[in-house]
Structure 1
Amino acid sequence: MKPTIAKLILPLLLTLAGGAASAHGDVKCTDRPKEEWKPHTELEQKLIKEGWQIRRMEMTKSCYEVYAKDPQGKRIEAFFNPVTLERVEEK
């Protein structure tokens, strides 16, 4: 019985997808306790005023993660310090 291409490719795709999902797990935005974080709605309002189109926002252990279109219309995933609301670059 010959293995189908799908059976050979599926494990590779799952491995690549898992690696991509954890690729930005190293982003560290703040060590401050969550009681000091500004509300995510404040970041949302700030970004909208700057011309961003927010698709989705998530809270990680130390960041606000934003999926949006930037003012130039480019789809972007960005991380923000929840205390300062400043953008944090991935390392």
Structure 2
Amino acid sequence: MKTKLILIVSMLTLAPQVYAKKNCTSEPKSKWMNESDFKAQMIKKGYKIRKFKQPGTCYEIYGQNPKGEKVEVYFNPVTAEVVKSEIDD
């Protein structure tokens, strides 16, 4: 019983973190970098874009970083700064 309670409390504690949306900017879309300009800038920096998405307030790419590692990266669409980067194994 105690183990189940610990498991439930752990799941409830972690749930908001799992489902929280990324907040990359609070700027209006009118200030966002054009998607094609953004992609061109990332390619120039050495990223290889396999898939591009625009979830919520972020630009997101799946592909390879300049080191050739397989990545998922969230960017601020105004500044093109990396907000979060995950390297896939």
TM category, shorter: 0.5 to 0.7
Please point out which of 24, 42, 54 is paired with 1:29.
Answer: 24
The alignment of Structure 1 onto Structure 2 pairs a total of residues equal to 69
Out of 69, 77, 86, the residue aligned to residue 82 of structure 1 is 77
Match of 1:68? 63
| CA deviation vs aligned residue, 1:41-75 (integer Å, no higher than 9, x gap) | 11211111111111011011110011110111111
- For 2:70, the aligned partner's letter is R
Please give the TM-score of this superposition, normalised by the length of structure 2.
Answer: 0.68
The match for 1:3 is none
Where does structure 2 lack aligned partners over 5 or more consecutive residues?
1-16
Equivalent position SS for 2:26 = coil
Which runs of 4 or more aligned residues in structure 1 lie more than 6 Å from their structure 2 counterparts after TM superposition?
Answer: none
**Which sections of structure 1, spanning at least 5 residues, go unmatched?**
1-21
Query: Is the 8 Å Cα contact of residues 59 and 76 (structure 2) preserved in structure 1?
Result: yes
Q: Which of 40, 44, 49 lines up with 2:44 in the alignment?
A: 49
Alignment partners' CA distance in 2, 1:71 and 1:28:
24
% identical equivalent positions = 35
RMSD: 1.9
The Cα shift of 1:29 comes to: 0.3
Q: Compute the TM-score of the two structures, normalised by the length of structure 1.
A: 0.67
* Structure 1 residue 85: Cα displacement: 1.1
